[in-house]
Amino acid sequence: MLDDESSKRDASTAAVPGGRWSRLARLGVLASGVAGSMLAQGTRQLAQGKRPRIADLLLTPENAYRVADQLARLRGAAMKFGQLLSMDAGDLLPPEFGVILARLRADAKAMPMSQLVNVLDANWGHGWDRHFRQFSFTPKAAASVGQVHLAQTRDGRRLAIKVQYPGVRQSIDSDVDNVATLLRVSGLLPRGLDVGPLLRESKRQLHAEADYLGEGAWLSRYAGLLADAPEFILPGVHADLTTESVLAMSCMGGVPVESLLHAPQAERDRVAGLLFRLLFREIFEFRLVQTDPNLANYRYDKASRKLILLDFGATRPYPAVVVEAYRRLMASAIVGDRQEMSMAASAIGYFRADIGERQRQLVLDVFLHACEPLRYAGAYDFGNSDLPARIRDAGLALSSERDSWHTPPADALFLHRKAGGLYLLAAKLKARVDIGALFQPYASRQAPS
């Protein structure tokens, strides 16, 4: 029997604008709202005898909220670009904008049931419900590209069904261009920030994440790569119900990994250690990294003490030359060899040709801070470390050098995004992990077979 919850009104539900013009109109409403807010705020300040600055009128919490709320309603490329900006542009963004936009990393509105049914009809055909004993129309989770529903088939399979929002795939390029233009014209992006590489990568990444057949293939490939690692569990792909816009997977149980905060210290240390060990294997053995740091991608089975890995849409292959450069960068950071670090960072693409020596050293300072857990002798205590604050301060010093700022290549941005997410998770769990020991097998050119 299908689980019909259409009578329940939910404030977290909103139809996804599917057509190009309706999505553009939504951005037009956003622009009008920002302009209206500026006019009202400016009028109030003039009435008080103040001379308002345009930048101050733009960068209000109200305008930042408007941007975040509308991107969350659009979902798809518009929301994903906001997510990338909130994580990757970091301290280059105004604080009022960055703090509120950061909610896009975990906040999306679900599409209403009528729109969901239309998507399923288009992908499975009318009468698809005859294949199911139960199908919950209330999503288990909603993100930028799609939402997940739980179901059970007539033949007894318990599934997690990821359904893509309508119009997402077709609107990727125009969404990213329109949002970037809006943010640039509105002044919410610094003039000196070159978002061109981020624009191109956002489009490429969104096209990959919107291909659920491709994600299913990555999931199957990871299952093969981790066949020798029984401490991990991955869902199986059910090809008979999977299309380009619907991904059917076996339903996984477990608890959110961040809920282990009150587990014994040894258990928290083990879980964080497994994830760091996996990251090193991804980089140096597989040369394939699942780059999305969302904590919802990890769950934990307490009975078997196994980690459940979910969501492989953001999987990214890494060229051997980039992997070798990162190995050199980490190995040289451990011994504090700044010259070798500089050469490795250059090989990755961190320095533009005209970078000054001061800016180069500031970049190396950021790397040294980020590699502190690698350099530490023994288990690094993430819970009692002020490392995030020091990395932030080093990033602020770098971002003040606006004239020489160089947006790192996409490979670097996504890898750092993943590593940063694991740092934050380890800190949340107050975990202690011997990162140096985990990296040691990869410190030389000969990686383990």
**Contacts for 30 with CB less than 8 Å, ≥ 6 apart:** 66, 67, 70, 182
Out of 193, 226, 244, pick the residue that ends a domain: 193
Averaged pLDDT for residues 43-67: 47
- For 72, the enclosing helix (H) or strand (E) is helix 61-74
Residue 150 falls in which region: left (phi positive, over 0), alpha (psi -120 to 50) or beta: beta
Quick one: 177 and 324 in the same domain? no
State how far the Cα of 206 lies from the Cα of 314, in Å rounded to an integer. 8
pLDDT at 407 over 60: yes
Give me the DSSP letters along 231-253: TEE-PPB-GGG--SSEEEEEPP-
In a domain, 372, yes or no: yes
Quick one: 259 and 385 in the same domain? yes
Q: What number of CA atoms fall less than 13 Å from residue 255's CA on the CB side?
A: 11
In a domain, 93, yes or no: yes
Quick one: 176 and 268 in the same domain? no
Q: Poorest-confidence range of 19-33, 119-133, 419-433?
A: 19-33
Q: Poorest-confidence range of 30-34, 227-231, 336-340, 413-417?
A: 30-34
- For 282, the enclosing helix (H) or strand (E) is none
For residue 265, what pLDDT is reported? 97
Quick one: 286 and 403 in the same domain? yes
Quick one: 188 and 315 in the same domain? no
Under the banding of pLDDT at 50, 70 and 90, the label for residue 424 is confident
Quick one: 331 and 183 in the same domain? no
Give me the DSSP letters along 123-137: HH-TTGGGGEEEEBS
For residue 30, what pLDDT is reported? 46
Quick one: 262 and 186 in the same domain? no
pLDDT tens, position by position, 346-393: 999 888 776 778 878 888 888 898 999 999 999 999 999 888 778 767
Report residue 280 CA to chain centroid gap. Answer: 19
State how far the Cα of 381 lies from the Cα of 268, in Å rounded to an integer. 12
Quick one: 311 and 422 in the same domain? yes
pLDDT tens, position by position, 198-226: 778 778 888 888 899 999 999 999 999 99
Averaged pLDDT for residues 314-339: 95
For residue 37, what pLDDT is reported? 44
More confident residue, 446 or 336: 336
Out of 159, 193, 227, pick the residue that ends a domain: 193
In a domain, 46, yes or no: yes
Quick one: 184 and 327 in the same domain? no
In a domain, 237, yes or no: no
Averaged pLDDT for residues 124-131: 95
In a domain, 222, yes or no: no
pLDDT at 186 over 90: no
- Shortest CA distance to 254 belongs to which of 241, 239, 272, 235? 235
Give the C-alpha distances (Å, rounded to integers) separating 14 from 110, 116, 165: 6, 11, 11
In a domain, 128, yes or no: no
Out of 148, 163, 193, pick the residue that ends a domain: 193
pLDDT at 249 over 80: yes
Quick one: 35 and 181 in the same domain? yes
- For 317, the enclosing helix (H) or strand (E) is strand 315-317
In a domain, 223, yes or no: no
Q: Is the pTM of this model over 0.75?
A: yes
| Active site (catalytic) residues | 292
Domain count for the chain: 2
pLDDT at 21 over 50: no
Q: Poorest-confidence range of 200-204, 326-330, 379-383, 427-431?
A: 200-204
Quick one: 289 and 414 in the same domain? yes
Tell me the residue range of the domain where 63 lies. 20-110+171-193
